[in-house]
Structure 1
Amino acid sequence: MKAAFTICTNSYLAQAKVLSQSFIKFAGDYKFYLFLVDELDEHIEYNKFEGVEFVLAKTLPIDFFALVEKYNIIELNTCIKGTCFKYLFNKGAQMVHYFDPDIELLDEIKHLDAHFKDAPILLTPHITSPITWQDGSPNENLFLNHGLYNLGYIGLTNQGDYMKLLDWWEDRTLTRGYYRTKQGFFVDQLWINYVPLFWSESTKILFDPGYNMGPWNLHERTLSSQEGGKFLVNNVSTLKFYHFSSYKHTNHEISTNYRYTFATNPDVKLLYDSYQKKMIEAGVDFYLSIKWAYQKKETFIKRLFKKKK
């Protein structure tokens, strides 16, 4: 079995729907899973998500509600990533790709799968060339705090020491998966700096600019459109998948977190225009109105234990 997955709350289901629709188009031979870090909501028709198998995060073999008490929403969504990989490998998957919900595939996944011939662990760096230092973000110090590799994507196969990697990573994220950069913690991502050192012979870093293009590497990557709706990156590589990190459809700009704009990088506007339309069609305003079930943790936990009595 070949599997891919994402992790999100109900409020992010529009982004996840766009991602899953791109899987139907470009990765039809993959089974797509969505690990829901939320409760099922009576107003959502989960069976209308074509090609998506939902798994409630609370059913994973971990003390989930202890994590609910311990972590904020970002930490909780990221700390279970290693556990989700284990879940899929235990179900018989031979290769597994993780994608953040705000990513869209734009080319056949077979281009990505081909790299598994070289190594069972695939990583994508945030940047591959120096950034001219200037006001705003990103500058190079951002990645010293948040990680050299963007964990919006990671790919693994069930070869070699993959389970040792997952055991190590899962332990770190479930016990120390904090968003505390001053203490050297940044959720699941910063730990992965060690993977090319600890598992050097098993790791391949993807330097192709068509992988995981996003608002932090626009200093080194430009788009040009091709016939058939595909894009070229730097006129050398097709755009395989784009990461629309921090994008807000009501504030149609590249990002509120990074210094790049449509004025500075007009080549990406067509891509963002298309993504905005898909998000709206996917019902983004409706899903954003759904409150996170664990927002008031104390109230939820009390209700949970009351039901058990």
Structure 2
Amino acid sequence: MNAIFTICAKNYLAQALTLKESIYRHNKGVDFFLFLADEKMEEVSDVELVELDDSWLPNWKSLAFKYNVIEFSTSIKPFCFHKLFQQGYDKVIYLDPDIYVTDSLEEIFNSLDSYSMVVTPHYNHIETEYTGAVTEEELLFVGIYNLGFGAIRNNEVGKQIVQWWKNRLFSKCYADKEDALHVDQRWIDFLPGFFPDDILISHHAGINIAIWNLHERQLMIQNGKYVIQDLRANKEYPLLFFHFSGFDPYNRTVINRRHPRFNIDVFPSFIPIIEEYANLEYRNGYDRFSKYKYSFNCYDNGEIILPLHRRLYREYLKENSIEENPFSAANIYYKKLKSNKLISKDKTQDFNLGIKQENRSNLARIDQIFNALFKLVLFIFGVKHYYFFIKYLRVKTRLESQYFLLDNGKSGKL
């Protein structure tokens, strides 16, 4: 038996439903599962919705609390593979919810006859002068392989991979440059070294097309089907699926909102599939679902869980265990935050202060103030001590380093 699954919070349900439709349009006899990394809801029909439960995801509330929405959604991925393996599926494919399938995935399932896992690198070809939209430095941080797609076989090696991955992601699925972590992805860099004969690093140019590899590919339409031309290898492939990472259907000229310069003017061949996908997103409820708030951004009394709270909780768990619900305002951790004035009165869930236009002028003024303060420190203490001061700040400004705030400055322990 073959299965495909995705994971999403409620605000990505339009993308997940579009994915489901596209899978069933081109793939017969495959089962699709949607694992909801959010509180349950009754509004989704005609889809196998799997809700969070301790039976397959032990201590999931702790995961949902210590991780943000992206970290949590990716941390449960190997647990989902494990659950589907236990249900008897032989071959399982994971696809991000913002993927759009345009052809049969039989080639990927067939690859699992010979391999235990299939992954794709972010891009396939070496360039002396790199021309990609996503910088090489960013890709070095996030990992060689893009885990918006991954296929694993239910065999001895596949089970070993899933078990190892579960173990790592339960406590080490943060997006954290200091610890060289980028959610679930960086861990997979190890696997070709562990299992050189069992991991297929696919160079099929029609798999996992996205902003990070558009510079080496071009979209064509032949006989009513999407075809990808590999510009470096001068070879054509059927487009199996396109990965609309960072896409906003409200602005169809921008392929990925984090890289707006590399838009449809740069990659015009992809306009037809962008228009097609955006229309389907709207039809599947994008206007409604995209406005949903993430349930695990609040305590049960409505207070906002700040990123600071999650990272301090990471430190707290090194020396303490919480049997209580971490989202409860009655638990000891919340009370400690409250007593140390670490609960915000601001009820908004927007933590991206540098992105919105209205915040940028404020940030510019703050930057000017800090620049003046830093110059004052340099003037008073001299360049040598200024250097040590900057090095110290790099450590001290990490959120986990603020753990002392939980104990009124007396120590680093609760």
Q: 1:153 matched to which residue of 2?
A: 149
Q: 1:39 matched to which residue of 2?
A: 39
- The answer as to whether partners of 1:146 and 1:181 remain within 8 angstroms in 2 is no
Q: CA deviation at 1:208?
A: 1.0
> Alpha-carbon deviations, 1:81-128, whole Å to 9, x = none?
000000000011100000000001111111222212321210111011
Q: Aligned pairs, how many? A: 299
Query: Whose Rg is larger?
Result: 2
Q: 2:86 matched to which residue of 1?
A: 90
Q: 2:21 matched to which residue of 1?
A: 21
> Alpha-carbon deviations, 1:28-81, whole Å to 9, x = none?
211100100111235x2x22xx3x211112343311111122111110000000
Q: 1:287 matched to which residue of 2?
A: 289
Matched, 1:299 2:301: yes
Matched, 1:194 2:190: yes
* 1:108 counterpart (87, 104, 124): 104
Q: 1:263 matched to which residue of 2?
A: 265
Question: Distance in 2 between the 1:160 and 1:146 partners?
Answer: 28
Q: 2:360 matched to which residue of 1?
A: none
Matched, 1:227 2:223: yes
Q: 1:11 matched to which residue of 2?
A: 11
Question: Distance in 1 between the 2:123 and 2:170 partners?
Answer: 27
> Alpha-carbon deviations, 1:15-35, whole Å to 9, x = none?
001100011111221110010
* 1:68 counterpart (60, 64, 80): 64
* DSSP 3-state at the match of 1:294: helix
Question: Distance in 1 between the 2:299 and 2:277 partners?
Answer: 33
- The answer as to whether partners of 1:96 and 1:156 remain within 8 angstroms in 2 is yes
Residue 251 of structure 1 aligns with an amino acid whose one-letter code is N
* DSSP 3-state at the match of 1:167: helix
Q: 2:317 matched to which residue of 1?
A: none
Distance 1:165 1:117, change over 3 A: same
Q: CA deviation at 1:262?
A: 0.5
Question: Distance in 2 between the 1:192 and 1:28 partners?
Answer: 30
Q: CA deviation at 1:233?
A: 2.9
Residue 53 of structure 1 aligns with an amino acid whose one-letter code is E
Residue 144 of structure 1 aligns with an amino acid whose one-letter code is L
Where structure 2 has 5 or more consecutive residues not aligned to the other structure, the ranges are 303-326, 332-414
Question: Distance in 2 between the 1:65 and 1:203 partners?
Answer: 32
Matched, 1:58 2:53: yes
1:101-250 alignment, distance < 5 Å: 101-130=97-126, 132-133=129-130, 137-234=133-230, 236-250=236-250
Residue 9 of structure 2 aligns with an amino acid whose one-letter code is T
Q: CA deviation at 1:288?
A: 1.1
Question: Distance in 2 between the 1:299 and 1:222 partners?
Answer: 51
Deviates more, 1:96-105 or 1:158-167: 158-167
Distance 1:231 1:297, change over 3 A: farther
Residue 218 of structure 2 aligns with an amino acid whose one-letter code is T
- The answer as to whether partners of 1:145 and 1:184 remain within 8 angstroms in 2 is yes
Where structure 1 has 5 or more consecutive residues not aligned to the other structure, the ranges are none
- The answer as to whether partners of 1:226 and 1:232 remain within 8 angstroms in 2 is no
Question: Distance in 2 between the 1:298 and 1:17 partners?
Answer: 29
Q: CA deviation at 1:181?
A: 2.1
Distance 1:271 1:304, change over 3 A: farther
Q: CA deviation at 1:270?
A: 0.9
Q: CA deviation at 1:167?
A: 1.2
Residue 159 of structure 1 aligns with an amino acid whose one-letter code is N
> Alpha-carbon deviations, 1:210-245, whole Å to 9, x = none?
110111101111111112243333351111111000
- The answer as to whether partners of 2:52 and 2:60 remain within 8 angstroms in 1 is yes
Residue 91 of structure 1 aligns with an amino acid whose one-letter code is Q
* Superposition CA RMSD, Å: 1.8
Residue 40 of structure 2 aligns with an amino acid whose one-letter code is L
Q: CA deviation at 1:175?
A: 0.8
Residue 256 of structure 1 aligns with an amino acid whose one-letter code is R
Question: Distance in 2 between the 1:179 and 1:266 partners?
Answer: 32
* DSSP 3-state at the match of 1:67: helix
Question: Distance in 1 between the 2:97 and 2:329 partners?
Answer: 30
Q: Please report the TM-score for the alignment, with normalisation by the length of structure 2.
A: 0.69
Residue 50 of structure 2 aligns with an amino acid whose one-letter code is V
Question: Distance in 2 between the 1:185 and 1:191 partners?
Answer: 8
